[in-house]
Amino acid sequence: SYAPDALEEGCTFCQFDVSDESPQVCKDHPDWMKYQIATLDCEHSKAFFARNFETCIKHDVISCGTVAQLLQQYQLKLEAAPIAVLQIDVEGYEAVLIPGLLQELPIPPPVIHFENKVVKESDQQSNTTKFAGILEALEVHGYRVL
């Protein structure tokens, strides 16, 4: 899960090892799996890749921060150019991103579209309610879920 000190330490990003040196078992996976599945939710990745997780998944520490920090870093002023539509596909990390985003954005976007398959699967596997928390956060901020 997300920890406040992760901003200083970085976040662990799990992605498929597509290097030339990767074992053959990793190379044998379909391209869609190798190139399209990466996540900050390494536990989901571990469940998804099961026995090949330790062999085929690299753990990289990447810089991470809040939306407010990103806006400040790039000197983006939402008052001058608000976000019209926000598309999110973060492989199960929506439960962290969306509530934080809604708290930080001075002007929330009128439309937020996000993939929810992974977070729903994670809820089923882990007996959690992350998806319900996302829906609640959206509704509290005036969004209708379609």
Q: 């509704």: which residue's tokens?
A: 139
Q: Is the pLDDT of residue 31 over 80?
A: yes
The Cα 49–Cα 30 span in angstroms is 13
Q: In sequence order, what are the residues at sequence separation of 6 or more whose Cβ sits closer than 8 angstroms to the Cβ of residue 18?
A: 26, 34, 35
pLDDT for 78 = 84
Q: Is the pLDDT of residue 5 over 80?
A: no
* β-bridge pairing 111-114 and 11-16: unpaired
Per the CB < 8 A criterion, the answer to whether 84 and 111 are in contact is yes
- Segment among 4-13, 57-66, 128-137 with least mean pLDDT: 4-13
Q: Is the pLDDT of residue 137 over 70?
A: yes
Q: Can you tell me the mean pLDDT for 73-91?
A: 88
pLDDT for 7 = 53
The Cα 80–Cα 73 span in angstroms is 16
Rounded to two decimals, what is the model's pTM?
A: 0.71
Q: Can you tell me the mean pLDDT for 25-43?
A: 90
What rounded mean pLDDT belongs to the chain?
A: 88
